[in-house]
Amino acid sequence: MKYGTLYVVPTPIGNLKDITLRALEVLEAADLVAAEDTRQSLKLLNHFNIKKPLVSYHKFNEQNKSESILELLREGKDIALVSDAGTPGISDPGSVIIKKCIEEQIDFVVLPGATAVTTALVYSGLDTDRFMFLGFFPRETKDRKKFVGEIGDRRETLIMYEAPHRLLESLAYLLEALGNREMAVCRELTKLHEEIFRGKISEAAEHFGSKQIKGEIVLVIRGKSEEEIRQEKKAEWESLTIEEHIISYMNQGRSKKESIKQVSSDRNMPKSEVYKYSTEIE
């Protein structure tokens, strides 16, 4: 018997008009819909006059429910997987069932569609060539410390989700940990009260500190700039003599020639000039 197919179906992140024609076709043709919140998905289906059986599939039952969905797929049922908004598997349930489909060689199809990540990135006006999506900003202080320690030196544009009641606390933490970088706070994307704030982290904290914050939020933050990296590297050696500077690189395992070349670059000095300070270094 031929297995059924799992369809990963993105749904609008706010404006229902953002659903694709293909998504509607799949929802109409599927034998049933696996939904993060059946009540929320029922509203979507009713809006487009689609009548389908719904089964619950959320982060609290994802492991167990995946098995029953796999059994339906083995029986030849076509299943549409949806989350409350956006693409399943992106900070939403979906990754578990997809991995199981891969393991069992059951076909699945991922439809393109709405996602808050790229929408917020383009709205931000920050670098779109290289970016890193980080999911939700951690709640606990110990997790936040590890989190910013891992991303602080990244040059890519950083994108993360945050809840409205934690926004001000998170902005304060990010300001202290990353410095006063350019950022965008994107709130209620595609919805009636959509808001895009662009500015420094401190300016965002001031802006949102004076209002009641509602809705889903995406934070987009500039990565570490070349100038910041240059200044930090300079702070590591500016108190050293040129000779000590050369030795510091040699102690890291570089050859004398490589160390002279790096010091020349760091200090913007001719290599021949730096070389004069290395003649007595063994």
What are the tens digits of pLDDT across the range 60-95? 888 888 899 999 999 999 999 999 999 998 888 899
Measure the CA–CA gap between 228 and 236, rounded to whole angstroms: 13
β-pair type (157-162, 79-82): unpaired
Cα distance from N-terminal residue to C-terminal residue, the chain: 75
Distance of CA 242 to the CA centre of its chain: 42
pLDDT at 105: 92
pLDDT digits (tens, 9 = 90+) for 108-126: 999 999 899 999 999 999 9
List strand residue ranges (DSSP E) for 58-163, in order.
79-82, 108-110, 131-136, 157-162
pLDDT at 38: 92
For residue 13, pLDDT over 90 is answered with: yes
pLDDT band for 163, please (50, 70, 90 cuts): very high
DSSP-derived letter for residue 278 is: G
Q: Which domains does the chain have, with CATH numbers?
A: 6-110 (3.40.1010.10), 116-224 (3.30.950.10), 227-278 (no CATH)
* Those residues with Cβ within 8 angstroms of residue 218's Cβ, 6 or more apart along the chain or in another chain: 116, 117, 119, 120, 159, 160, 161, 162, 185, 186, 187, 189
pLDDT at 1: 67
Residue type at position 93? P
For residue 101, pLDDT over 70 is answered with: yes
For residue 264, pLDDT over 90 is answered with: no
State mean pLDDT over 172-192. 96
Cβ contact 248:242 at 8 Å: no
State mean pLDDT over 248-257. 83
Cβ contact 155:222 at 8 Å: no
pLDDT at 19: 95
**Mean residue pLDDT across the chain:** 91
